[in-house]
Amino acid sequence: MNWGEAARILALGLPNTVVITLGAFAIGLVLGLPLALARLSRWSALNGPATIFIEIVRGIPPLAWIFVTFYGVGKVVGRLDPVFTAIASLGFVAIAYMAEIYRAALQSVSPGQLAAGRAIGLGDGSVLVHILLPQAAVLAIPSAATYCIGLLKESALASVIGAGEITYRAMLLTDRTLHGLDVFAIAAVLYVALSVPLAIFARWAGRRFGAHFRRRTA
């Protein structure tokens, strides 16, 4: 097997892997926040459905969501693009996970911050926007980054519906060359090449934005 040629073929899948990962993550990043707020709401008309949604969506394997979207939704609206399907279904799952990450972050902001915000006469909306969310966002960085790296690997599931990302190409190449070990070793290197910069970026962001937060040790 020609290693350079194999690497070139697999690398063609990089853009789709990146697009699926970042697309799904962006959906979770944006829509997870309102869901987290609903989950934390004191009104059961909001937090009840939010809790049920989160538990059901998280409880079903992402692979199942991909199939349900591709074959189920596809049956109704016509054949779906595999990459689009992967983004939509993984993004749907990401909403539930990101909501839980936001919720945990919001709950780990010191309760004194809420009290102090209220004590200076801010309404709860202002307290949320100006005091709780900026701090929760920083607290959420490590978990969100971990989840994003998880998504990167879950994007491989899109191979089952033929989205031409790294794993799909690795499977095709394996069929053709019968050098599965080598092909997937190259695929592994590509995934690590994507996840390591992500981890470095997350660590940098955590430091950059968390610097003035860290508690002075008495």
Partner 1 sequence: MAQPARGDGLDEAFDRALPACADQDPRATLPSRDGTSSEVPCLRVEGLTKRYGPSVVLDGVTLNVAKGEVLAVIGPSGSGKSTLLRCLNYLELPEAGRVYLNGELVGQDQDPGGEMRLWRAGQFAPLRRQIGMVFQQFNLFPHLRVDENIMLGQIKALGRSRKEAYDRTARLLASVGLEHKIHARPIELSGGEQQRVAIARALALDPQAMLFDEPTSALDPEIRREVLNVMQRLAEQGMTMIVVSHELRFAERVSNRVLFMAQGRVQEEGPPAQVLRNPVNSRTRQFIEALET
Is 124 one of the binding residues for partner 1 (CB under 8 A)?
A: yes
Q: How far is CA 144 from the centre of its chain?
A: 7
- Residues with Cβ within 8 Å of 178's Cβ and at least 6 positions away in sequence, in order, are none
Is 69 one of the binding residues for partner 1 (CB under 8 A)?
A: no
Is 153 one of the binding residues for partner 1 (CB under 8 A)?
A: no
Look at residues 125, 78, 135, 129 and name the one whose alpha carbon lies nearest to residue 105: 135
Of 135, 155, 159, 167, the residue at the interface with partner 1 (CB under 8 A) is: 135
Q: How far is CA 200 from CA 41, 193, 203, in A?
A: 34, 11, 5
Of 73, 122, 160, 205, the residue at the interface with partner 1 (CB under 8 A) is: 122
Is 79 one of the binding residues for partner 1 (CB under 8 A)?
A: no
The least CB distance from residue 17 to partner 1, in Å, is 34
Q: What six digits make up the tokens of 84?
A: 């689009």
Is 110 one of the binding residues for partner 1 (CB under 8 A)?
A: yes
Q: Are 49 and 38 in contact (CB under 8 A)?
A: yes
Q: How far is CA 188 from CA 7, 11, 151, in A?
A: 11, 11, 15
Applying CB under 8 A, which part among 25-33, 71-79, 131-139, 186-194 lies near partner 1? 131-139
For the chain, how far is it from start to end, CA to CA, in angstroms? 61
Identify the residue whose tokens are 């070990």: 181
Applying CB under 8 A, which part among 95-103, 106-114, 158-166, 194-202 lies near partner 1? 106-114
Identify the residue whose tokens are 């307290």: 127
Is 134 one of the binding residues for partner 1 (CB under 8 A)?
A: yes
The least CB distance from residue 114 to partner 1, in Å, is 9
Is 4 one of the binding residues for partner 1 (CB under 8 A)?
A: no
Of 115, 189, 196, 200, the residue at the interface with partner 1 (CB under 8 A) is: 115
Is 120 one of the binding residues for partner 1 (CB under 8 A)?
A: yes
Residues near partner 1 (CB under 8 A) are 110, 112-113, 115-124, 126, 130-131, 134-135, 138, 212-216
